Amino acid sequence: MTRHFLRDDDVTPVEQARILDEAARLKGERFAARPLEGPRSVALVFDKPTLRTQLSFSAGVSELGGYPVVVDGSMAQIGVRESIPDCARVLGRQVAAIVWRTFDQSRIEEMARYAGVPVVNALTDQFHPCQILADLLTITEHRGRLAGLTAAYVGDAANNMAHSYLLGFATAGMHLRVGGPNVAQADPEVVRRAHEIAATTGGSITLTDDPRAAVDAAQVVITDTWVSMGQEGESATRKGSDSPFAPYAVDADLLSYAADDAIVLHCLPAYRGFEISAEVIDGPASVVFDEAENRLHAQKALLAFLLEQS
């Protein structure tokens, strides 16, 4: 059976732990796994802007012995010039795996149904599961474990990062508090699924509109941009002086409510002075650039896992 990674709960808790263990090993031994030796090719398709994702997947595929084929989504126009099923069949006959950054989650699910090779979600409007694997690896490096830790995600609770934190952290057995304004709360179906997973892993999920309650004594504090890709038209409202997100900015005052040794994550790009202050992202609690590096190692481990399982 072909295995895909379209959302965070496409792997079990045991499989997630196995991928993270392999990611840690590959961080120490960069070329220890060569499942794409040949080289076999991997299609990297980007319908949205990218820096870290394109770089980390390109380098990762090369380090696994393969060849990354970067496809400009604006040229390919998947689902416009050709149907998604036809594109999936064409890609699947020529490459070992497909990595796709696109819009609605339904597009990548349709790709996976017809591709015949592993399909990886490199970001959709609903989920960003590869980023969560990198975050979990980073937390493990700095805290030594995942299960039982308390993490707080504050800001836009309705975006793809919030949804992936809900599923991915519940899978890891963590206690996640999500703090966001009432106008931007997580998809109830994702919240229901996160509660379901947490009930089996010993984790927990808490939703609140109080940023201080979310961060209180948390060992991990996380935020993300208030203007996700595709929402640029709302930038003035979301970043304005009366923005509903303003109380959720991770600055020195809000961070003072967290545990004394709390670490701070941000998936980047970061907008200093809005969702996070320069003092925090450049300060001693920040592990943001470890997090960015770990995209490479986590995604290599993920690709190796999917290729082995398929």
**Residue 128 annotated among the catalytic residues of the structure:** yes
228 annotated among ligand-binding-site residues:
yes
260 annotated among ligand-binding-site residues:
no
CA distance 292 to 154: 19
Going from the C-alpha of 173 to that of each of 6, 49, 65, the distances in angstroms are: 20, 32, 33
101 annotated among ligand-binding-site residues:
yes
Q: Among residues 187, 167, 173, 270, which one has the least CA distance to residue 222?
A: 270
77 annotated among ligand-binding-site residues:
yes
295 annotated among ligand-binding-site residues:
yes
CA distance 35 to 44: 17
Residues 6 or more apart whose CB falls under 8 angstroms from that of 12 comprise 171
Residues in the chain: 310
Which one is catalytic: 101, 163, 175, 297?
Answer: 101
CA distance 271 to 234: 15
Which one is catalytic: 7, 156, 267, 299?
Answer: 267
272 annotated among ligand-binding-site residues:
no
**Residue 282 annotated among the catalytic residues of the structure:** no
**Cβ–Cβ < 8 Å for 205, 178:** yes
**Cβ–Cβ < 8 Å for 287, 166:** no
**Residue 267 annotated among the catalytic residues of the structure:** yes
**Cβ–Cβ < 8 Å for 223, 271:** no
CA distance 15 to 68: 25
**Residue 113 annotated among the catalytic residues of the structure:** no
Which one is catalytic: 128, 193, 238, 297?
Answer: 128
Which one is catalytic: 193, 238, 266, 295?
Answer: 295
123 annotated among ligand-binding-site residues:
no
Going from the C-alpha of 33 to that of each of 102, 190, 289, 302, the distances in angstroms are: 28, 34, 24, 12
**Cβ–Cβ < 8 Å for 271, 259:** no
Which one is catalytic: 16, 126, 131, 299?
Answer: 131
Which one is catalytic: 224, 238, 297, 299?
Answer: 224
267 annotated among ligand-binding-site residues:
yes
**Residue 266 annotated among the catalytic residues of the structure:** no
135 annotated among ligand-binding-site residues:
no
Binding site listing: 77, 101, 128-131, 160, 224, 228-229, 267-268, 295
Binding site listing for L-ornithine: 160, 224, 228-229
Binding site listing for carbamoyl phosphate: 77, 101, 128-131, 267-268, 295
- Active-site residues, by number, are 101, 128, 131, 224, 267, 295
